[in-house]
Amino acid sequence: MNYFIIDFDSTFIKNESLDILFEISDPNNNDKIREIKKITDLGMNGHISFSESLKRRIKLLEASRKDIDKAVNNIRLNISDSFEKNSDFIRKNRTKIYLVSSGFHEIIDPIAEEFNIIKNHIYANNFVFDDNEIVTGFDDKNVLSMDKGKVEIVKNLNLDGTIHVIGDGYTDYEIKKEGFADYFYLFAENIKRESLINNADFLVKSLDQFIKIVE
């Protein structure tokens, strides 16, 4: 039995969902947007720890529940082309697919549900809100907010079969590195992180290429 662990940001969708939320919540603040992207990249390339990168970014975030809804609407129009195209594959394999993301349920769930991803197969972080529906932080007890969170999630799934991880970032590769996946597919449709090429079993430029390999 094959299982597919799929990343969300820059894999299932074209961009980083948190970057989009930043742009929407503080539209003309280019310095801040640049700073956020820099922190994201440092984390994705493995130069700073993931939890450090999340902490630094959320500290700079000033977003409301409404901003999150706007971000979801934006992301809906920016699904990766090959994921949009292969929604049948996703539906047919829904029992084998797990979405494991360091992004946030509040953004990911509405999109994932449209692709028929099983609700309890979605693993992500949670925002914390104040009484005025403003984001004040994130649930730091959620394992995905911690270093090696994705590794921990996949380990605890205890899947009996061949585990394929598809993603664009270091934390996706880490699942295989730590021994809880059989294959890591570096997904390069949206971004090709050169520093990860040597760690990948396969470099795939689209979900079509991935499907060709696994089917």
Q: Which residues of this chain interact with Mg ion, rule CB under 5 A?
A: 7, 9-11, 168-169
Minimum CB distance to Mg ion, residue 167 (Å): 5
Nearer to Mg ion, 68 or 124 (CB): 124
Alpha-carbon distance of 184 to 165, in angstroms, equals 5
Minimum CB distance to Mg ion, residue 45 (Å): 12
Minimum CB distance to Mg ion, residue 25 (Å): 21
Nearer to Mg ion, 19 or 178 (CB): 19
Nearer to Mg ion, 11 or 53 (CB): 11
3-state SS of 8-66? HHHHHECCCHHHHHHHHHCCCCHHHHHHHHHHHHHHHCCCCCHHHHHHHHHHHCCCEHH
Minimum CB distance to Mg ion, residue 10 (Å): 4
Alpha-carbon distance of 215 to 155, in angstroms, equals 24
Nearer to Mg ion, 132 or 194 (CB): 194
Answer for the pair 99, 83: CB distance below 8 angstroms, yes or no.
no
